[in-house]
Structure 1
Amino acid sequence: MTAAVDTSVLFAHRSAHDEFHERATEIIGGVDHGQLPELHITDHVLAETLNLLLNKGTHRKATQTMDLLIEGSHFRLLHTPKTDFNSTQALFRRHPHLSFVDASIVAYMQRTGIEYLYSFDDDFDSVDGVTRVNSAVDPR
């Protein structure tokens, strides 16, 4: 089983001062140890995470995070195809509370049939077909 992940979890894991740092670290640790589903990370989420780390942290923290996600055996980095981009535009127009990146996550999940999303962002709660998980639990 796989799940998608939002920037909020990845950023909180790498930012010790984030209010969700402890929960995010438990989630990422569970994924690393194979206790939680493999996480799919879209290129939009990766870019948003690295940019946040660069702006609120350091270049080194951003590059270390990039390397950890690329090398991690339980993380899958994915390119967003044009079909997802088209769906993202429609979702972004329909859901004013979603950022463009959040809409792209939903588009990816809809296309691939992924139901579960690890995220601390409750804006996803109003999107049909998305079940948000905000702690280190296995939704299987």
Structure 2
Amino acid sequence: MSANFLDTGYLLALELSNDRNHEKAMWHWKAVLDSLPPLVTTSYVFDEVITFFNSRGHHKKAVQVGGNLLRSPSIQFIHVDEKLFFEGWRYFQRHQDKAYSLTDCISFVVMEKLDIETAYTFDKHFEQAGFLRKPRM
């Protein structure tokens, strides 16, 4: 079974009941748990999720979510080292016509390297970059 990439917006939608994508993410996550595919994310996505909660005064929630992600045996974390950072930076530079974030570009590089076709995300940039996006909008 091929791995799937976990993006920031998807992880936030799972945790935030007031997120516009919360219900769709929860419905999708329940289906994912039945099949338990391998999941991959990066240290940059992890940082975005934790920073989101902490920057809004929810340090305890940031620690809880971060701990859950780090303890999950189903999630493979890819640490963004210097080599991966610069590969993402080059991807970012080549795509001036897109509004990709550097984190997105690093995610795309990881997905290409690991032959990951599908991202769990609500970010249309993943489709623009040639990947499948779940759940479907």
Please give the range of the TM-score, normalised by the shorter of the 2 chains: 0.7 to 0.9
Seen in structure 2, the aligned counterparts of structure 1 residues 70 and 34 have a Cα distance that, compared at 3 Å, is: farther
Number of residue pairs aligned between Structure 1 and Structure 2: 133
1:70 alignment counterpart = 70
Structure 1 vs Structure 2: percent identity of aligned residues? 27
2:52 alignment counterpart = 52
Give the AA of the match of 1:65: V
SS of the residue 2:55 aligns to: helix
Give the AA of the match of 1:85: F
The equivalent position to 2:117 in structure 1, one of 115, 118, 121, is 115
2:10 alignment counterpart = 9
Offset of residue 38 of structure 1? 2.0
Seen in structure 2, the aligned counterparts of structure 1 residues 30 and 57 have a Cα distance that, compared at 3 Å, is: farther
Q: Distance in 2 between matches of 1:30 and 1:64?
A: 23
TM-score (norm 2): 0.86
Q: Distance in 2 between matches of 1:34 and 1:72?
A: 16
Offset of residue 103 of structure 1? 0.7
SS of the residue 1:120 aligns to: coil
RMSD: 1.7
How do 1:20-99 and structure 2 match up within 5 A? 20-31=21-32, 33-56=33-56, 58-95=58-95, 96-99=98-101
Give the AA of the match of 1:110: E
- What runs of 5+ residues in structure 2 fail to find an aligned partner? none
- What runs of 5+ residues in structure 1 fail to find an aligned partner? 136-140
Please give the per-residue CA displacement for 1:25-56, whole angstroms capped at 9, x wherever unaligned. 2333344x352422111000000011012123
Give the AA of the match of 2:113: R
